Amino acid sequence: MQGMMRAIGCGLAATVLWSAGAFGEGAGSAPKPATSHTIEANEAVARSLPMEDQRDLDFAARGFIATMEDPVVKGEDGRVIWDFGAYDFLKQPAPPTVNPSLWRAAGILAQHGLFKVADHIYQVRGFDISVMTFIEGKSGWIVIDPLVSTEMAAAAYALVSKHLGTKPVHAVIYTHSHVDHYGGVRGVVDQADVESGKVQIIAPEGFLEHAVSENVIAGTAMGRRATFMFGILLPKGPEGQLSTGIGPAVSTGTVTLIPPTHSITHTGETLRIDGVTLEFQLTPGTEAPAEMNIFLPEWRALCLAENANSSMHNVLTLRGALVRDAKAWADYLGESIRLFADRTDVMFTSHFWPRWGHDEIVDYLTKHRDAYRYLHNETVRLMNEGYTGEEIAERIALPPVLAREWYNHGYYGTMSHNSKAVYQRYMGWYDGNPSSLNPLPPEEAARHYVDAFGGADAVIEKARVSYAAGDYRWVAEILKHVVFAEPDNDTARELLADAYEQMGYQAESAPWRNIYLSGAMELRTGSHGRLPQAVGVDTVRSMASPLVFDLMAVRVDPARAEGLDVTVNLVFPDREEAYALTLANSVLNHEAGKQDGAAATLTSNRAAFLMVMAGMAKMPDLVAAGAITIEGDPQAVATLFGVMKNPKGDFPIVTP
């Protein structure tokens, strides 16, 4: 079970601790300039943009107090966690290699520092992919969403303390169950203060379950795809990564988690903390399975978490996840309007910048809500007329009254892939065409396509003609078959990389850009990136034991397990837990309680068990030390754990 902790950690924090520079340098790895077709496409976009609307520029700059004097934040080991100067290139005019709409949005997101939102409300922005909010109470702070990593949360807290005075943190609020909204918690509070009751940790009902489970089972695959979506392995610059769409980048520091001490269970629940009244609205199943908004009635201030953004969000994130509910998302925004709009003068969120003024906020919430409602309704309308997901994605577009608002642009989610998500939620993967029921796998289909075209050279020649005409989507469509049929065909790989690159240069969505450019890099270098060594220890500790066993179950290699039938009892005295793990029919099942007749019983504190699973300790050593005891047949334990096979996580994406 070497690397089990790595697999667990990557599932929980798949977007967090990836090593930069994991791609090797290779021939042809340098980016190409924008073609004339890309230049023309981006110039056309520039002409269509409502550049006269400068509200976002004002909102993002308003209330600026100060930023870090040192442009680099480092970890204890000297590793760079964040470089504030990395995005200075965004201060220049948009180059031809970037969609001008995305360039504008990325430049605003890259602004960093401490900002005053209103009396008693401050934010630190541009320190991570997310935003950290400080609410001033009578004697200290209430912190909302402490970023991804402890290093960046501590840096934000230090900046606040320097300019607003050193005060203790009395409470931390997690608005929802994604790691960029809780991972830095130990950078602002200590576990001992939480345990003593000096600090409250507040989250929506179901937070802990979803925080530790949402990405676990498919964590390796999600983590691999996250390297593409966030451009984690791309160099930063006009030809590379310049945004995630909702923040500059994901910090690469230490991810932590302190479980909530209080869960918000219903809309309308209120708390009084350090003299501050907080009123909550639960919004489950929107941007996260467990999420909530927060209203501060004394200051007429509304926090909408990640339910409202200055971009269309993802109904289905491109790294992979369960499909979200666009209708519920719109419904909850409508509920926010009914509950809070008439009492709100300032609105802030967990990404992007605040908005001020009652009328501005009502107009924003109404049109942002209606963008999600239109996405849902129009997708379903077209679906019921017989269109498939791909056909709907080509047809759907917001009406002009909604599309002209910057905050409804697709910097993160897009109408295209979100409409496919709505279709998937209702109809699943099957598009109704019989040929789609049992299609050939990619490599076999690729060989047939190449043969039908007259061979690889013929396909490449057609692709060259289409590339010269600027038809990059068709180039990608036909050349992917050559690459899958002949993975070593360097000519096809390079031309396909060129097409992906131009598609990335034209993309308004930051994830689309990052995915295209990451695909080009993989084709040119032949490298796939690598997983971190270990992450998310706090989150692993917080996992329910059945979830650990579920993760073990999806690691069973049928070839190793064939013909085996063995049951092992696990007893964790420190948690007063006992389980029976049974391997039979090449399937691992678990049940609560010990099973009579089990071949062996393993007893230990759960931490020792996890250390063995992670490869951080050897079973014989812990048995010899008395940390683990095995009654019965030790070979049964070895057999059970010997069938596990951990995925590498560096599998190719754009090549077979």
Q: Which pLDDT band holds residue 361 (cuts at 50, 70, 90)?
A: very high
Please, which residues bridge with residue 294 across strands? 280, 303
Please tell me whether residues 407 and 549 are part of one structural domain: no
Please tell me whether residues 236 and 383 are part of one structural domain: yes
At 21 the pLDDT is 36
Query: Mean per-residue pLDDT for 502-530?
Result: 93
At 611 the pLDDT is 86
Please, which residues bridge with residue 123 across strands? 115, 133
- Name which of 236, 349, 335 is nearest 285 in CA terms: 335
At 215 the pLDDT is 72
Q: Which pLDDT band holds residue 220 (cuts at 50, 70, 90)?
A: confident
Q: Which pLDDT band holds residue 612 (cuts at 50, 70, 90)?
A: confident
At 536 the pLDDT is 61
Query: Is 28 inside a domain boundary?
Result: no
Which one is predicted more confidently, 321 or 412?
A: 412
pLDDT at 19 over 50: no
Query: Is 205 inside a domain boundary?
Result: yes
3-state secondary structure string across 381-432? HHHHCCCCHHHHHHHCCCCHHHHCCHHHCCCCCCHHHHHHHHHHHHHCCCCC
- For helices 472-485 and 442-453, angle between their N-to-C axes, nearest 10 degrees: 110
pLDDT at 25 over 60: no
State the residue range of the domain holding 575.
544-642
Share of the chain above pLDDT 70, in %: 94
The predicted model scores a pTM of 0.94
- Name which of 103, 448, 488, 629 is nearest 459 in CA terms: 448
Pair of tokens at residue 348 = 């802030």
Query: Is 387 inside a domain boundary?
Result: yes
Q: Which residue do the tokens 């809500």 mark?
A: 369
Residue 24: how many other CB atoms lie within 10 Å: 9
577-584 vs 346-348, strand pairing mode: unpaired
Give the separation between CA 169 and CA 190, rounded to whole angstroms. Answer: 10
At 529 the pLDDT is 62
Query: Is 507 inside a domain boundary?
Result: no
Which one is predicted more confidently, 218 or 344?
A: 344
Of 392, 424, 456, the residue at which a domain comes to its end is 424
**87 φψ region: left (φ > 0), alpha (ψ -120 to 50), beta (else):** alpha
User: Residue 47's Cα: distance from chain center in Å?
Assistant: 32
Of 424, 443, 470, the residue at which a domain comes to its end is 424
pLDDT at 530 over 90: no
Give pLDDT tens digits for 315-337. 999 999 999 999 999 999 999 99
At 8 the pLDDT is 29
Q: How many CA atoms lie within 13 A of 259 on its CB side?
A: 14
3-state secondary structure string across 230-247? CCCCCCECCCCECCCCCC
At 212 the pLDDT is 86
**332 φψ region: left (φ > 0), alpha (ψ -120 to 50), beta (else):** alpha
Arithmetic mean of pLDDT over the chain: 93
Give pLDDT tens digits for 190-214. 999 999 999 999 999 999 999 888 7
Count the domains in the chain.
2
Which one is predicted more confidently, 119 or 23?
A: 119
Query: Mean per-residue pLDDT for 466-479?
Result: 98
Query: Is 47 inside a domain boundary?
Result: no
> Which segment of 26-35, 167-176, 342-351 scores lowest on mean pLDDT?
26-35
pLDDT at 73 over 80: yes
Give pLDDT tens digits for 633-649. 999 999 998 999 988 88
Query: Is 121 inside a domain boundary?
Result: yes
- Phi, psi of 619, rounded to the nearest 5 degrees: -55, -50
Please tell me whether residues 416 and 562 are part of one structural domain: no
Query: Is 521 inside a domain boundary?
Result: no
- For helices 442-453 and 456-468, angle between their N-to-C axes, nearest 10 degrees: 80
CATH number at residue 572: 3.30.1050.10
Query: Is 494 inside a domain boundary?
Result: no
Q: Which pLDDT band holds residue 535 (cuts at 50, 70, 90)?
A: very low
Give pLDDT tens digits for 49-66. 999 999 999 999 999 999
Q: Which pLDDT band holds residue 384 (cuts at 50, 70, 90)?
A: very high
177, 290 contact by CB (below 8 A)? yes
CATH number at residue 254: 3.60.15.30
Of 424, 454, 486, the residue at which a domain comes to its end is 424
